[in-house]
Amino acid sequence: METICPRCGGSHFHYNRSRMRMECDTCGAPWLNPQQEQRLMEYDQTYAQALQHIQAGNWQQALQRLAPLVGQYPTDKKLHEAIIQAATQDFSDMTMRETAPRRQAEASWNALVRLHGITPVLRRYAAQKQERERERLQEHKARMRKWLFRAALCAIVLFLGLSFYSYSLVFLCFIGLLGCLYKVCLLDPLSLIYQARHPAPASSNPFTQSDWSYRIPISKNHR
């Protein structure tokens, strides 16, 4: 069966090595064999299903459909942006506590940087996320200072109680001191020290922050 160009009606084709495809000798239109057309149809259907899941809020289902497409078409910018949209729950999740979606978003962000595909929407989300992380770190510092101040106050009163042989006061202050130190341990001071010594650059991938930052408790304002 003779192959006919759908654009000009020509019947002679050649292989273009730079574009890695068969093209019409007359007009240069690409010629797709039935297998290629089937793959493109499956691509369109799968991508459309992923977008529908994003619209419905089915984030995991959307990621499951997008991941194989990225493996087949790693330079398709819209696929990487769709993965970030699904992983961030339509750019609403600023904490990214789940590891798997965060890793997928991290890889897609890096790919978009190499492909020069970072859109204003993605830049805006990255700025908001970094600002939220800074606010969360400041709140964490404030809570840490509060419990350290209470612990110091309990320690001072405890020594005063020892000086005046007020053992009931000493006992209460000792219990209070242990309680304050327990609260400090729950706030994970090591994560605060790590964040202070290793701040994330403002231009870095918003999903590649160290796992230490995700150990900082989330306040109710950031949920």
pTM beyond 0.75: the answer is: no
3-state class (DSSP) for residue 121: helix
Segments making up each domain of the chain, as ranges = 1-33, 42-114, 134-222
Report the pLDDT value the prediction gives residue 223, as an integer from 0 to 100: 45
Report the pLDDT value the prediction gives residue 187, as an integer from 0 to 100: 83
Tell me, what DSSP letter sits at residue 13?
E
Q: How far, in Å, are 52, 53, 91 from residue 56 at the CA level? A: 6, 5, 14
For 113-131, the pLDDT digits (tens) are 999 999 999 999 998 988 8
Contact 54, 63 (CB under 8 A): no
Report the pLDDT value the prediction gives residue 217, as an integer from 0 to 100: 53
* 21/186 Cα distance (integer angstroms): 60
Q: Which residues of the chain have pLDDT under 50?
A: 211-212, 221-223
* 82/174 Cα distance (integer angstroms): 55
For 83-111, the pLDDT digits (tens) are 999 999 999 998 887 889 999 999 999 99
Report the pLDDT value the prediction gives residue 190, as an integer from 0 to 100: 77
Report the pLDDT value the prediction gives residue 156, as an integer from 0 to 100: 94
